[in-house]
Amino acid sequence: MISILPFRPEDYEEAMALWKNSPGIGLSRADSPEAIAVFLERNPGLNWIARQHERLVGTLLCGYDGRRAYLYHLAVHPDYRRQGIGRALVERCLDQLKAMKVEKAHLFVYADNQDAIAFWQATGWYSRPELIIMSFNVS
């Protein structure tokens, strides 16, 4: 049985191991233990893990800036894919966002990650070809 639970700082090491072994998950300094702990504290009730017994098998991070929500690092261990775990994580997150009256959420997918694009499209998300992402390294 899969349990969907709040993501806690104590889950970090297992989550990082999953992320490192999940093609399509981009990692940076923003994924350090300290940065993730701050992210979780700033976004209570929006970040989730999936466990089967004691094993972490899925993750989803979500942040809300007061205007829009952003989803990050949806990952499901390859042995557990196509069982509805990714969908369950996303639904739990979206339920929380709806309760908070958030109107729109966004996410980032690498353009060559066809599996992720297919998943997100199958769950009702759509691409925005009129937008591009621009970044700036502050530090």
93-129 pLDDT per residue, tens: 999 999 999 999 999 999 999 999 999 999 999 999 9
Contact 43, 16 (CB under 8 A): no
Q: Over 90: is that where the pLDDT of 138 sits?
A: no
Helical (H) or strand (E) element with 49: strand 48-52
Largest CA distance in the chain: 43
Query: What class is the 2-122 domain?
Result: alpha beta
Res 40 pLDDT > 90: yes
Whether 69 and 60 have beta carbons less than 8 Å apart is answered as no
Answer whether 101's CB lies under 8 Å from 68's CB.
Answer: no
**Does pLDDT of 136 surpass 90?**
no
Q: Is the dihedral of CA 4, 49, 26, 24 positive or negative?
A: negative
Tens-place pLDDT, residues 62-97: 999 999 999 999 999 999 999 999 999 999 999 999
